[in-house]
């Protein structure tokens, strides 16, 4: 059998098919395989008709068709399917071959699999592929991580098929070792949760607080898309608000207000808790989806729990601009928190991450693509060691400009009884982060009072530990000395 395949893709669901067609467009010969073999023939006689794509009806056939070192990409369901496919592949691989997982795997699985395959003399890559079906077909944002030596094997193919920034830079670059690529993909999805939530809060405030129509909000989001907020998600929001259903009314108002989720926002929030990083806006975005899912309870509660009767008074167009600024400031906080978590993850999992490049990977091709990401890239170009995005001059100045509006919006929403969990938690984070002395002194006192957990003093050396017998009862033993 002639070894003519540049790469194989296993998994012919829509993402796999579209990636194959994208690779084919760029001149690569792709070998296509699927567990259910009939799908190979369906693909060859359907979407792949007239292309160079070669079908493989078995793993043996697929492996025999590939040039070496072999590159085999899995586009199968995340979870056990990836492990099962790896086990099926192992007996057929030669040293130096590379297995690539392009699904939405949890980064800890990718860490485990990289170690496993490297231990057997193979290479492994776990890559984020973002942008949905259209991205996969036309140019996704790609976030590969894994065995560093495998990057040169796939670099040309990956950068050829990836999206490009407006300046022509591919939205694909090596992220880091083992699970780094899938971690960054998880961060991307989580930031997407945050971006969507703050847009929804702006919509809710304009609808419920100001009584604006979908047509009016369509105009507002369209105009916002010409500002710093220029992004795919603002653009599609404007489109959605203008979309009419068969009855002529806005379709969005007919859609059940019960959000679904696939879990990446939750994964990132859980990981942020593990790392001890306050990624509050994204966590609120996940919780907002959870609350929305309690539709029946909310319908019942709405009949008995009352809120303020007050109506918005004031200048509506000025308040709309206030909302835009609140959205922008909240977005800055969300990305700040996301990048704080990336920084801590890099420390924890021993990755060397290039934060500016990560922002650029998301500039095109993916759901959070925006002009805003260029500002993040520029901030890290100015200072690669930037510890926190809020400390960058550009972002600090934008927050300064937005701050009064942001506070007005949160205060007004509270008065009107419109929930804005992301706007308000972002503001609380901002106020906490800029607070030199938080009330954690009292908290430490409470911990020492009931649990003898000890505390440090501001007027004593940092390593000196104190315990006080607050009640005169219970003795002077600190918890660190307890054996039970
Ligand atoms: P299938 O067509 O044989 O079901 C998306 O579901 C893709 O993942 C499909 O190509 C599907 O193959 C594949 N997939 C799902 N579970 C799998 C498994 N356990 N092993 C291999 N492929 C699997």
Phi, psi of 5 (to 5 degrees): -85, 130
Res 419 pLDDT > 60: yes
Burial class of residue 279 (count of CB atoms within 10 Å of its CB; 0-12, 13-18, 19+): buried
* % of the chain at pLDDT higher than 70: 98
Q: What is the pLDDT of residue 477?
A: 73
* pLDDT confidence band for 292 (50 / 70 / 90): very high
- Residue having the nearest C-alpha atom to atom 10 of ligand 1: 11
Q: What is the pLDDT of residue 482?
A: 47
Over range 231-252, report the average pLDDT. Answer: 97
| C-alpha 11 to ligand 1 mean position (Å) | 6
Which atom from ligand 1 is nearest to the alpha carbon of 10? 10
| C-alpha 61 to ligand 1 mean position (Å) | 18
Each residue's pLDDT tens digit, 24-41: 999 999 999 999 999 999
Question: Ligand 1 site: residues with CB under 6 angstroms?
Answer: 11-13, 34-36, 39, 76-77, 81, 84-85
Which atom from ligand 1 is nearest to the alpha carbon of 84? 20
CA angle, residues 183, 184, 185, in degrees to nearest 5:
90
Query: In 3-state terms, what secondary structure has residue 81?
Result: helix
Which atom from ligand 1 is nearest to the alpha carbon of 80? 19
| C-alpha 58 to ligand 1 mean position (Å) | 14
* pLDDT confidence band for 2 (50 / 70 / 90): confident
| C-alpha 76 to ligand 1 mean position (Å) | 5
Over range 248-273, report the average pLDDT. Answer: 96
Q: Which of 39, 185, 331, 377 is catalytic?
A: 185
Nearest Cα residue to 105 out of 87, 83, 121: 83
Ligand 1 pocket test, candidate residues 16, 34, 85, most atoms within 8 A of CB: 34
Residue 334 and residue 376: Cα distance in Å, rounded?
Answer: 12
Give the global pTM: 0.96
- Residue having the nearest C-alpha atom to atom 7 of ligand 1: 76
- In 165-315, alpha helices (H): 180-204, 214-224, 232-242, 264-275, 280-293, 295-304
Each residue's pLDDT tens digit, 61-89: 999 999 999 999 999 999 999 999 999 99
* pLDDT confidence band for 50 (50 / 70 / 90): very high
Question: How far is residue 314 from each of residues 117, 208, 212, measured CA to CA in Å?
Answer: 64, 15, 14
Is 88 assigned a catalytic role?
Answer: no
Each residue's pLDDT tens digit, 109-149: 999 999 999 999 999 999 999 999 999 999 999 999 999 99
Q: What is the pLDDT of residue 3?
A: 85
Q: Which of 71, 85, 192, 266 is catalytic?
A: 192
Is 185 assigned a catalytic role?
Answer: yes
Question: How far is residue 422 from each of residues 69, 151, 185, 406, measured CA to CA in Å?
Answer: 48, 38, 21, 12
Phi, psi of 329 (to 5 degrees): -65, -40
Query: In 3-state terms, what secondary structure has residue 267?
Result: helix
Ligand 1 pocket test, candidate residues 56, 73, 76, 103, most atoms within 8 A of CB: 76
């Amino acid at each position: 059998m002639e070894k003519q395949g540049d790469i194989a893709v296993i998994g012919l669901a829509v993402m796999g098919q579209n990636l194959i067609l994208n690779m084919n467009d760029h001149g690569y010969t792709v070998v296509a395989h699927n567990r259910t073999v009939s799908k190979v023939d369906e693909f060859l006689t359907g979407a792949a008709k007239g292309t160079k794509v070669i079908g493989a009806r078995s793993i043996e056939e697929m492996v025999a068709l590939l040039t070496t070192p072999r590159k085999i990409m899995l586009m199968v369901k995340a979870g056990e399917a990836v492990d099962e496919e790896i086990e099926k592949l192992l007996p057929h691989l030669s040293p130096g071959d590379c297995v690539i997982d392009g699904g939405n795997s949890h980064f800890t699985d990718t860490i485990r699999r990289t170690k496993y395959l490297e231990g057997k003399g193979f290479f492994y890559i776990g890559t984020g592929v973002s942008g949905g079906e259209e991205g996969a077909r036309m140019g996704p944002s790609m976030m590969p991580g894994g065995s560093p030596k495998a990057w040169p094997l796939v670099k040309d193919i990956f950068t050829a098929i990836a999206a490009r920034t407006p300046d022509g830079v591919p939205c694909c670059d090596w992220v880091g070792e083992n699970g780094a690529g899938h971690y960054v993909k998880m961060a991307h999805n989580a930031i997407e949760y945050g971006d969507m939530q703050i847009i929804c809060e702006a919509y809710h405030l304009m609808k419920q607080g100001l009584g604006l129509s979908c047509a009016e909000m369509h105009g507002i989001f369209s105009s916002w898309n010409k500002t710093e907020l220029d992004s795919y998600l603002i653009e599609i929001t404007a489109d959605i608000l203008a979309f009419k259903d068969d009855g002529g009314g806005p379709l969005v108002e007919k859609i059940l207000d019960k959000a679904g989720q696939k879990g990446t926002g939750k994964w990132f929030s859980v990981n942020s808790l593990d790392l001890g990083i306050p990624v509050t806006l994204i966590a609120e975005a996940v919780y907002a989806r959870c609350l929305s899912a309690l539709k029946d309870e909310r319908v019942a509660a709405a009949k008995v729990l009352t809120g303020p009767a007050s109506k918005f008074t004031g200048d509506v167009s000025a308040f709309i601009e206030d909302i835009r600024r609140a959205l922008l400031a909240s977005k800055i906080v969300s990305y700040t928190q996301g990048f704080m978590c990336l920084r801590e993850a890099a420390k924890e999992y021993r990755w060397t991450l290039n934060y500016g490049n990560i922002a650029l990977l998301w500039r095109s091709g993916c759901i959070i693509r925006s002009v805003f990401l260029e500002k993040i890239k520029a901030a890290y170009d100015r200072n690669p060691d930037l510890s926190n995005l809020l400390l960058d001059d550009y972002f600090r100045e934008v927050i300064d400009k937005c701050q009064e509006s942001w506070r007005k919006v949160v205060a007004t929403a509270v008065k009107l009884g419109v929930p804005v969990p992301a706007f308000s938690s972002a503001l609380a984070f901002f106020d906490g982060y800029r607070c030199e002395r938080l009330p954690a002194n009292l908290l430490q006192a409470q911990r020492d009072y009931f649990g003898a957990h000890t505390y440090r003093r501001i007027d004593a050396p940092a390593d000196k530990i104190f315990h006080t017998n607050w009640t005169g009862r219970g003795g002077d033993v600190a918890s660190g000395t307890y054996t039970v």
